[in-house]
């Protein structure tokens, strides 16, 4: 018996099928994250993840970055420093609160991140080509419900992991 595969004696068949597809999706994303830095030369996987985040959320703080990438603030700060030194990120002090640093991708950093985003968007567009608006609306409705539940589960797990079982 494979100890990694739970027995199918709970839940319904549709839930198992969705879970199976989610696992395949997570594995594909993991493989992309493992290989993407090779396309964005000069960046580690963690640096590329940070750039992908900062392109989407320009002006984020080190604390925001730490939370988004599940890093300590100290590691996120070093990561921001690495990206700043390499010319991929600009860090700017908030004029009203000099302790706060805002991060944004430079043109070089954004270019590398957008190369990776472009490839992912292209794959999604190919997958969704020909899908009716009705089917797309239904897919997004269900996907949103799945994401909300998984985010809530992740939040509870993080609270336990970080020593706050009150969540």
Looking at residue 1, its pLDDT comes to: 42
**Beta strands in the chain, from DSSP E residues, in sequence order:** 60-61, 89-94, 97-105
Looking at residue 37, its pLDDT comes to: 58
What number does CATH give the domain 23-124? 1.10.10.10
Write out the two tokens for 159.
């609270």
Looking at residue 95, its pLDDT comes to: 82
Backbone angles phi, psi at 56, to 5 degrees: -80, -30
pTM for this model (two decimals): 0.67
Backbone angles phi, psi at 91, to 5 degrees: -115, 130
Cβ partners under 8 Å of residue 21, min gap 6: none
Q: Express each pLDDT in 48-74 by its tens digit.
A: 889 999 999 998 999 999 999 999 999
């Amino acid at each position: 018996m494979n100890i990694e595969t739970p027995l199918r004696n709970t839940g319904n068949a549709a839930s198992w099928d969705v879970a199976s597809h989610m696992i395949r999706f997570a594995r594909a994303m993991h493989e992309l994250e493992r290989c993407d830095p090779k396309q964005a030369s000069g960046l580690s996987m963690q640096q590329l993840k940070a750039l992908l985040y900062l392109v989407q959320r320009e002006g984020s703080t080190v604390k925001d970055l730490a939370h988004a990438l599940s890093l300590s603030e100290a590691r996120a700060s070093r990561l921001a420093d690495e990206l700043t030194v390499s010319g991929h990120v600009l860090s700017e002090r908030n004029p009203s609160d000099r302790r706060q640093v805002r991060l944004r991708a430079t043109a070089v950093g954004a270019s590398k991140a957008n190369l990776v985003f472009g490839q992912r968007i292209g794959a999604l567009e190919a997958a969704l080509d020909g899908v009716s608006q009705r089917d797309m609306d239904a897919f997004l409705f269900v996907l949103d419900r799945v994401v909300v539940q998984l985010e809530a589960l992740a939040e509870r797990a993080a609270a336990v992991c970080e020593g706050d079982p009150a969540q």
